[in-house]
Amino acid sequence: MAQNNDGYYEAYWPRAPRQQLMRELAPRLDSLEGKTVAQLWDQLFKGDVVFELLEEGLKARYPGIKFVSWRDFGSTHGGEEREVLAALPQRLKSLGVDAVISGMAC
Amino acid sequence: MCEAAGFPTSSLTCEGFVRQAAVTSVGIGMPNIPIATVPGHIGTKTAQELRDGIFEVTMDEVVTNLTVMPEAKAVASEPRARDIVVRGGLKAVNRYFVEHEYSDGLPIVPPTREDIEAFLRYTPRSPDESLGTLLPDKRAATIWSIAVNGVMAGCRPEYMPILVAMIEAMCDPVYGVEHSGNTPGADTLIILNGPIIKTLGFNYTQGVLRDGFLPNTSIGRFWRLYLRNVAGFLLHKTDKATYGNTWRVVLAENEDVLQKIGWEPNRVEMGYAAGDNTVTIARYTGGGSLSSVSGSTPEEMLPYLADSLQRFNNWQVTFTTSHGNGTLRPLAVISPIIAETLAKAGWSKADVKRYLFEHARRPAYEFERQLRDWNIRGVWDLEDDVTHARIPKVFFESDDPNRMVPIVWKAEDYMIAVSGDPLRNNAYVFAHNGFLGYPVGRKIDLPKDWDALLAQAV
């Protein structure tokens, strides 16, 4: 009779508990008309071109929309990333920003 | 961050990153954070194709993301930290671990209580102690989880002090573990120094970067398993390596040769004492071997090494510009006989690094062409970076496009390790991944009863 050499094991979970609690998203806007939208860019993957196109299209749809250029924030990815991100909430507030478009992940 | 601060946000993501965004959003506690898609990949589109994609797809999604609250998404419940997740034979356990994405595809050693506790005896720390929180999953890097993954990788219990030091380094924000799934698919190299190399039988001579020695290989595998299971990097989800590699085995320096020639080991470069056991981690996107580095003097040998360093660190010079804030740290592993030849001429490690800084250079037009034209960084050049004092002046000393510029900011940015076949005149050059895996060192703390524990080890 063949012997079972597969053994018996009680194996523990190899992961660890997540530390992040679930959070609510920010309230959405009723419309983009008359609102100020910030552009955040990691300065990769033609984001400068993408933001130009989005600005053109959104202005055509919402004539009163305003933009704060990615040039006013610095790169959101790179050697100074942590400093730029840490300053963001206050910076967005001081610029009167209502919403944000952030790119590019490619 | 913007959402948490109260600003509705639409993130822009090329098609290939949508799945990664969905998984990462759970780690940041916002599983319903909205994404606007850019069809295909932006790097291969004509101007018209890009315009069409933005106007026909991305624009509407941006408007929706900013004006309509996304539906809440439930997150699946998980086991608790010390739950047994499967009971059964070796095959059943391995099948379960593969099916639940806990394994790298090779058979694992089942992490049982007996084996986990054997690892825990090699550290005075509490099993529940967390060394930090790791992105993208944002899980606690607990001592318990280190032991579990160490068992799985096939490590021996006495490797535990090394594993703890490695994860301490992984948790250091300077290292940047959150970038471990980036598209170039860089892999971590672990450099080991100290008496522990011989105590635990690491390979530090011929074939040092190849699997084949238990400590070198199993500890390298542990690193990747920990990235998978605790940091949360999974292929086709959060690990977006376009190609990637199998894990790198541990590189142990040849300290006998270093002592003989009077060169400081890597641990001293990283700020630790001469007698310390240390690990240094850094991520490298690739590299290659240099065959037959010939000559009997530094002047004859080093041009080959300098030329190879600048060739292998090709697009990686992006980390030398303002984008990377000068974080490029190329590594040269040279064989003992090369190091001995250089030292015999009176050259120190610092002398070699200075030579490399002055000679591992390329024409400025090639440097800029690589990043601006080939890697589509359209808003950047060396002149602009120097003019705004974002990088050293050496990168724009004239407007001659043929001027030779370095690939790092200063000589000390080069790293040199001595290992490999002692009697072969070869070297290996690593291309560094900049701030997406910056070198970080940690001292390995041995338990007080280390010698007694080793004597009892079976």
Strands (E), chain A: 9-12, 36-41, 66-68, 99-105
B145: nearest Cα among B92, B214, B80: B80
Q: What is the pLDDT of residue A52?
A: 93
Residues of chain A contacting B176 with CB distance shorter than 8 Å? none
pLDDT at residue A78 tops 90: no
Whole-model pTM over 0.90: yes
Confidence band, pLDDT 50/70/90 cuts, at residue B257: very high
Cβ–Cβ contacts within 10 Å for residue B179, how many?
A: 19
- Residue B32: pLDDT band by 50, 70, 90 thresholds? confident
Residue spans of the domains in chain A: they are 37-103
Whether residue B22 is predicted with pLDDT greater than 60 in this model: the reply is yes
d(CA B215, CA B316): 31
Cα–Cα dist A98/A63, whole Å? 16
Coil/strand/helix, residue B253: coil
**Which of B3, B7, B25 is the best substitution to test chain A (most A C-beta atoms within 10 A)?**
B7
Taking the C-alpha atoms of residue A4 and residue B91, their distance in angstroms, rounded to an integer, is 11
B365 touches chain A (CB under 8 A): no
For range B340-364, the mean pLDDT: 98
Q: Which is more confident, B61 or B18?
A: B61
- Across the interface, do A28 and B33 touch by the CB < 8 Å criterion? no
| Distance of alpha carbon B254 from alpha carbon B337, whole angstroms | 11
DSSP category for residue B436? G
Q: Mean pLDDT lowest for which of B52-61, B234-243, B301-310, B376-385?
A: B376-385
Name the average pLDDT for chain B.
94
Provide the number of CB pairs (under 8 Å) joining chain A to chain B: 262
| For chain B, percent of residues with pLDDT exceeding 70 | 99
The shortest C-alpha distance from B261 to chain A (Å) reads 37
Question: Which one is predicted more confidently, A23 or B160?
Answer: B160
pLDDT tens, position by position, B410-419 = 999 999 999 9
pLDDT band at B381 (very low <50, low <70, confident <90, very high): confident
Closest residue of chain B to A43, computed from CA coordinates:
B377
What's the whole-number mean pLDDT along residues B284-292? 95
CA closest to B325 among chain A residues:
A79
User: Please, which pLDDT band fits residue A74 given cuts at 50, 70 and 90?
Assistant: confident
- Please give the DSSP secondary-structure letter assigned to residue B227: I
Calculate the dihedral angle through the C-alpha atoms of B396, B401, B406, B407, rounding to the nearest 10 degrees.
Answer: 110
Mean pLDDT in residue range B324-353: 97
CB B409 within 8 A of CB B391: yes
Average pLDDT, stretch B374-386?
79
Q: A52 CB contacts (<8 Å, ≥6 apart)?
A: none
Q: Which residues of A touch B33 (CB under 8 A)?
A: 25
Find the mean pLDDT for residues B105-116: 98
Residue B380: count of CB within 10 angstroms of its CB: 18
Residues B187-197: tens digit of each pLDDT = 999 999 999 99
Which of B38, B111, B144 lies at the smallest CB-CB distance from A11? B111
Q: Give the confidence band of A23 by pLDDT, cuts at 50, 70, 90.
A: confident
Nearest CA in chain B to A106: B14
Residue B369 pLDDT > 60, yes or no? yes
Reply yes or no on whether the pLDDT at B376 is more than 70.
no
Cβ contact A17–B91 (<8 Å): no
Predicted confidence (pLDDT) per residue in B132-172, tens digit: 999 999 999 999 999 999 999 999 999 999 999 999 999 99
- For residues A20 and B133, give the distance between their C-alpha atoms in angstroms, rounded to a whole number: 9
Q: Are B183 and B242 in contact (CB under 8 A)?
A: yes
3-state secondary structure of A50: helix
